[in-house]
């Protein structure tokens, strides 16, 4: 659930298996709905209430959304005890791309840097 100024903006639940979408965690769905309802990707001033400490993906989304506060019930250790093992993802994030279990290959670096340059020089860009 996401609130702003004490009012509920959005509510959601995990829909990964229902939608066959590995990104359909409750937090992500609630963020998407709140952003749509508030007509902004910047959810500053909002708070999120979750049943468990967010996984790495959801934690990243919470930071990108600029949510001010996270209230959680269970810890990631509690989740691990019942079979949700996010700890390997937390470990992988701290590894360099070459050390990760999933193969990472860098391609087209110069072209990517050129695209960054174009964005950087755009005068009317919307920063996030």
Contact 36, 65 (CB under 8 A): no
Residue of 85, 52, 87 whose CA lies nearest to 70: 52
What is the DSSP-derived secondary structure letter of residue 87?
H
* 27 part of the active site: yes
Angstrom distance (rounded) from CA 126 to CA 128: 7
Contact 59, 36 (CB under 8 A): no
Contact 37, 65 (CB under 8 A): no
Find the catalytic residue in 7, 27, 47, 123: 27
Strand boundaries in 6-75, DSSP class E: 7-10, 46-52, 69-74
Which sequence positions are flagged as catalytic? 27
């Amino acid at each position: 659930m996401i609130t702003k100024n004490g009012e509920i903006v959005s509510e959601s639940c995990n829909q990964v298996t229902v939608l066959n979408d590995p990104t359909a965690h409750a937090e992500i769905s609630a963020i998407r709905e709140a952003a749509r309802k508030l007509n902004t990707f910047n959810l500053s001033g909002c708070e999120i209430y979750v049943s468990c400490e967010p996984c790495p993906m959801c934690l990243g989304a919470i930071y990108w959304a600029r949510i001010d506060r996270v209230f959680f019930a269970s810890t990631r250790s509690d989740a691990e005890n019942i079979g949700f093992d996010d700890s390997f993802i937390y470990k992988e994030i701290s590894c360099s791309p070459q050390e990760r279990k999933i193969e990472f290959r860098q391609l087209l670096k110069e072209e990517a840097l050129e695209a960054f340059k174009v964005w950087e020089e755009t005068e009317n860009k919307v920063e996030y």
